[in-house]
Amino acid sequence: MKKYTDQGKKDTRSGYGAGMTVLGRTNPKVVALCADLVGSLKIQEFINENPERFFQVGIAEANMMGIAAGLTIGGYIPFTGTFANFSTGRVYDQIRQSIAYSHKNVKICASHAGITLGEDGATHQILEDIGLMKMLPGMTVINPCDFNQTKAATIAIAEHEGPVYLRFGRPAVPNFTPADQNFEIGKALLLNEGTDVTIVATGHLVWQSLIAAENLENQGISAEVINIHTIKPLDEEAIINSVKKTGAIVTAEEHNYFGGLGESVARTLTTRYPVPQEFIATQDTFGESGTPAQLMEKYGLNDKAIERAVFKVTKRKSVY
């Protein structure tokens, strides 16, 4: 099994800020908008270097989406920034009508996603955003796994023509992907080859899946681990090729199991190559206040939960 090294824990939102700094220096069409959360989005360096390309809209997220849509008409590439709950649920009508329907080149960048937002509680821990965004026609949905990948994704989406939803988080998590990586939208990454089960993960659950795979290897189970950083468009070929070898799959995400990565994978398998599947996700519930680690444990979003799902799904292979 390939070993991955934690290069030092960093928050993925800082990866977004680092990517914006690069874009500020290399792409004069990129502009940033923020809904009174500059510190949380880590874009102060971009602002310092490009004050004329920054728009502080205040706590007016719906207006921010409309302004961003308008800026694209002038040839700009607007990056909007606020918490994931406010980037999607609060402004869904504006995104649908002014951005998605019109296929505007807006990059909707959402911090503090998922249950690892932690102590702010259920009102801020959106667990439905991937589902909301992936159902919009023409919307690309990206959920990177660490600081380096978030930075690379931020830079890459500036070159993509069309609306993008980029999701990232608040807590410091292991940073283990290459600093110089080439981020290819829609292309899954095979992190570990295996023969007994496929683990398909996104976001914070990628590192947890690698831990689980290492533990499973010590128990005689060979797990293939795939990083699905782009949920839409989904790399269906990578998934199908893997399950043809392993015959079973576990999907892992920090999102409600309704509407998330797991459902997209299930649709792919149902129509092309059915195999047993287990879902690591929140089970149709809101979150609550607590530390990220406490919440990931309680809601079954960690390496131990992935291991249990693997044991369950591999037993189903013989009767499927």
**DSSP per position, 29-91:** TEEEEESS-HHHHT-HHHHHH-GGGEEE--S-HHHHHHHHHHHHHTT-EEEEEEEHHHHHTTT
C-alpha dihedral sign at 234, 112, 279, 312: positive
- Residue 127: closest CA among 105, 112, 109, 139: 112
98 DSSP 8-state letter: I
CA separation, residue 140 to residues 131, 234, 250, 309 (Å): 12, 10, 23, 29
How crowded is residue 156: how many other Cβ atoms within 10 Å of its Cβ? Answer: 18
Which residue out of 45, 49, 61, 253 is catalytically annotated? 61
Tell me whether residue 237 is one of the annotated catalytic residues: no
The identity of residue 160, as a single letter, is H
* Residues classed as catalytic: 61
